């Protein structure tokens, strides 16, 4: 399916896709660029159960160490160097 980008940046999502994705006027979409591809995803609030599961999972994770922080900082620096 094809959608046309207007000069003001708006696009019209074809009717069939809106129906399949259960999109309605006023719905909020997350828009991201991933590997040169635009990704649209309907934003849906988390349920209480999903929130509780995320919190529980985060509590069971080990605390980051100073070594972890240094590793992350090094990875960021390498990524920045490769972009230049």
**Are 31 and 40 contacting, i.e. CB atoms less than 8 angstroms apart?**
yes
d(CA 24, CA 46): 19
State the pLDDT at residue 63.
85
Residue 10 lies in a domain: no
For 50-66, the pLDDT digits (tens) are 999 999 998 888 888 98
Question: Residue 71: is its pLDDT beyond 90?
Answer: yes
**Is residue 1 included in any domain, yes or no?**
no
Q: Check pLDDT > 80 for residue 84.
A: no
| CA 44 to mean position of chain CA atoms | 12
Q: Is residue 42 part of a domain?
A: yes
- Determine contact, residues 13/3, Cβ cutoff 8 Å: yes
Name the CA dihedral angle for 78, 75, 38, 36, rounded to a multiple of 10 degrees: 30
Section 59-81 average pLDDT: 90
Domain count, the chain: 1
Per the prediction, the chain carries an average pLDDT of 91
Residue 7 lies in a domain: no
What is the span of the domain harbouring residue 66?
A: 15-83
> Nearest to residue 31, comparing CAs of 9, 14, 47, 51?
9
């Amino acid at each position: 399916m094809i959608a046309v980008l207007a000069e003001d940046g708006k696009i019209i999502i074809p009717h069939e896709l809106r129906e399949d994705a259960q999109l309605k006027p006023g719905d909020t979409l997350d828009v991201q660029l991933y590997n040169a591809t635009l990704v649209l995803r309907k934003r849906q609030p988390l349920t209480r159960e999903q929130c509780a599961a995320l919190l529980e999972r985060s509590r069971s994770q080990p605390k980051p160490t100073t070594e972890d922080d240094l590793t992350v900082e090094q990875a960021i620096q390498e990524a920045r160097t490769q972009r230049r």
